[in-house]
Amino acid sequence: MGKVHQEDSNVKEKNSELSLVRVKGTWKSKTGLKIKDAVDCVSAAKIYESISEQGTTWTVVSPITFTYKVTETHSLLDPSNDTLLLGHITDPQQMEDIKRSNKPMRRFVVVDQEVYKIYGPKLTEYLEANDVVYKVLALPTTEENKSMETALKILEEVNNFSLDRRTEPVIAIGGGVCLDIVGLAASLYRRRTPYIRVPTTLLSYIDASVGAKTGVNFANCKNKLGAYIPPAAAFLDLSFMQSVPRRHISNGLAEMLKMALMKHKGLFELLEEHGCMLLDTKFQTGNNVYGHNSVKVASQTTRIAILTMLEELAPNLWEDDLNRLVDFGHLISPALEMKVLPSLLHGEAVNIDMSYMTYVSHESGLLTEEEKQRIISCMVGLELPVWHEEFTMELVQKSLQDRLKHSGGLVRMPLPVGLGQAEIFNNISYDILQKAFIKWCEELSVSSDSTCDA
C-alpha cells in the first residue's frame, strides 16, 4: 500500500509586488521589476498582492503629489498684471496654448461681500479689460455663516456657470473664512476642481492661504467638516491690507507671532521692536513717517512668517504626523472662539491661548521669567488680548480631553522652550496647568474685580 501524501496545512502566503506600466494607452501590472515590453511610462504606484488560504488581498500604494504656488505680487488687480488669470499655470505648453487661443477665458469668482464693496469695481474692470467671461458671487463670509449651507450655495452657482474643472479655476477673494469655504466647495465639485486663493486680511495672508486645509463649522465645532486639498495657487498682494481695520491687522499679527515663538527668534525680535510700526503702516510700503524702514520690515516679517509656515506644512499637508508646532495657540482657542462668537476674532482667541500656554511653559521651567514677560509685552504691543474671562480652567480641561480623542490619545502640546524654540509635550500635569492658570489670572486679568474659575 503506497504512502498517503498529506498537504501541509501551514501553507505560507504568496506575496507579489506588482509594478504598473502604461502600454498603448492602458495600464498593466508587471511582477517586480521584470518590465521587458516597450512601455510609455512606469507609475510610482504599486500593487502588493498577498494570496493565502483565507483569500487574496491587494494593498495599493499610490503616491499623490500636489504642486501649488504661493506668489507674492503687486497690483494684482491691475489689468496689465495677468497673475490672477495665468499665474497658477506651471506647464509651458498649456500657457502657450492659452495665449494662442481665441477662446475667451472664463472665471467664477467668490468674493467676501465687504471686500466686494471696496474692490468690486476694480475687480470687474480687471476681468472685462482681459475679455474674461465671468461670474462674481459676493457673499457674507463670516465665522457665523461658515457652514455647509454656504458651501452648497456656492456649488449651485458654480454648477449653473458650467465650469470646466480642468482649465477654469474658481477664484476666492477674501479672508480666511472665505478661502476655507470656497476651497471646500471646489474640492467637492466633480470631486476636485482647482481653485485660487487671494487673501485680503493679514491673518489669511500668512496662514489660511499657504496650506491645504479647507473646511466649514459643524455641530457648533470649528472646521469639523473639511478636506485637505491645496489650491492651485495663492496670490498674495499686501496692498489689500490698506483697507483692513487696525484690529484685523493685529489679529493677523497673532499668527505671525505664533511662528516666531515656535521657530524664529529673529521674527520675534522684529515684532517686538516694530510691531507698532506694522500696525500704523498696515504693511504698506508707501510714503510714511517710518520711511524705508517700513518697507524692509514688512517684507522681512511676511517672508519669514510664510516660509516658516510652509516649512511646517509642506512635509505634512495631510497631518499624518500629529506632532505639529503650528498647533500652538490652537488647543483651547477653538472652543473659546466658538463659545464667545462673534466677540473674538480668530487671531485674538489664538493669542489668549498662547498667552496662557506661555505661563504653562514658565511654570514648567521651560521659560525664564524674563522670557515670559517679553512675550506678554510683545503681545500687548501688538494690541492683542492676553486674557479672557470665558477662558476658564473648565474650558482648558474639556479642550484637552477633546484633544486626546483626536490626536491619537496624546495631548501633543506645543510649548515654547525659549524665544523662537519649541517642543511637543505630552506630560504636563494638571497641577502645573492649574498653577499656571491661577498666576495667569492674577497677573493678566482685565480688572482687580475679575474672578477666575480655577
Please choose, from the candidates 235, 230, 203, the residue with its C-alpha nearest in 3D space to the C-alpha of residue 109.
235
For all residues of the chain together, what is the average pLDDT?
A: 92
Query: How confident is residue 451, by pLDDT bands cut at 50, 70 and 90?
Result: very low
For residue 170, count other CB atoms closer than 10 A to its CB: 25
* Helix, strand, or coil (residue 454): coil
C-alpha cell at 393: 480652567
Query: Do the beta carbons of residue 139 and residue 112 sit within 8 Å?
Result: yes
The angle at the Cα of 107, spanning 74 to 242, to the nearest 5 degrees, equals: 30
Close Cβ partners of 205 (under 8 Å, ≥ 6 residues apart): 199, 236, 238, 241, 252, 302
Query: Do the beta carbons of residue 439 and residue 359 sit within 8 Å?
Result: yes
Query: Do the beta carbons of residue 167 and residue 195 sit within 8 Å?
Result: no
Give residue 11's pLDDT.
55
Domain topology for 247-316+323-444: Dehydroquinate synthase-like, alpha domain (1.20.1090)
Give residue 38's pLDDT.
61
For residue 262, count other CB atoms closer than 10 A to its CB: 26
* Domains 69-244 and 247-316+323-444 fall in the same CATH topology: no
Rounded Cα gap, residues 400 and 235, in angstroms: 36
Give residue 25's pLDDT.
84
Give residue 7's pLDDT.
47
Q: What is the average per-residue pLDDT within 45-56?
A: 93
Give residue 36's pLDDT.
57
Q: What is the average per-residue pLDDT within 158-179?
A: 94
Q: What is the average per-residue pLDDT within 309-332?
A: 95
> pLDDT exceeding 90 applies to what percent of the chain?
82
Q: What is the average per-residue pLDDT within 314-343?
A: 95
The residues assigned a catalytic role are: 213
Rounded Cα gap, residues 345 and 330, in angstroms: 13
Rounded Cα gap, residues 396 and 231, in angstroms: 34
* Helix, strand, or coil (residue 177): helix
Residue whose cell numbers read 505639529: 324
Query: How confident is residue 293, by pLDDT bands cut at 50, 70 and 90?
Result: confident
* 66-125 tens-digit pLDDT: 899 999 999 999 999 999 999 999 999 999 988 888 889 999 999 999 999 999 999 999
Q: What is the average per-residue pLDDT within 223-229?
A: 95
Q: Identify the sign of the CA torsion 296, 302, 305, 308.
A: negative
pTM: 0.89
* 108-148 tens-digit pLDDT: 999 999 999 999 999 999 999 999 999 999 999 999 999 99
The arrangement of strands across the sheet holding 26-31 comes to 26-31, 14-23, 41-52, 55-61
Give residue 286's pLDDT.
66
Give phi and psi for 201, each to the nearest 5: -120, 160
Please choose, from the candidates 59, 84, 80, the residue with its C-alpha nearest in 3D space to the C-alpha of residue 71.
84
Give residue 452's pLDDT.
42
Query: Do the beta carbons of residue 188 and residue 218 sit within 8 Å?
Result: no
* 376-409 tens-digit pLDDT: 999 999 999 999 999 999 999 999 999 999 899 9
Please choose, from the candidates 99, 122, 100, the residue with its C-alpha nearest in 3D space to the C-alpha of residue 111.
122
SS (H, E, C) 208-244: HCCCCEEEEEECCEEEEEEEECCCCEEEECHHHHHHC
Lowest pLDDT segment from 58-67, 284-293, 314-323: 284-293
The CATH class given to the 69-244 domain equals alpha beta
Please choose, from the candidates 288, 307, 124, the residue with its C-alpha nearest in 3D space to the C-alpha of residue 210.
307
Domain boundaries defined on the chain: 14-61, 69-244, 247-316+323-444
Instruction: Give, as one character, the DSSP assignment of residue 363.
Output: H
- Which pairs with CB-CB distance under 8 Å and at least 24 residues apart come from 365-373? 366/415, 366/416, 366/417, 366/418, 366/423, 367/416, 367/417, 367/418, 371/416, 371/418, 371/419
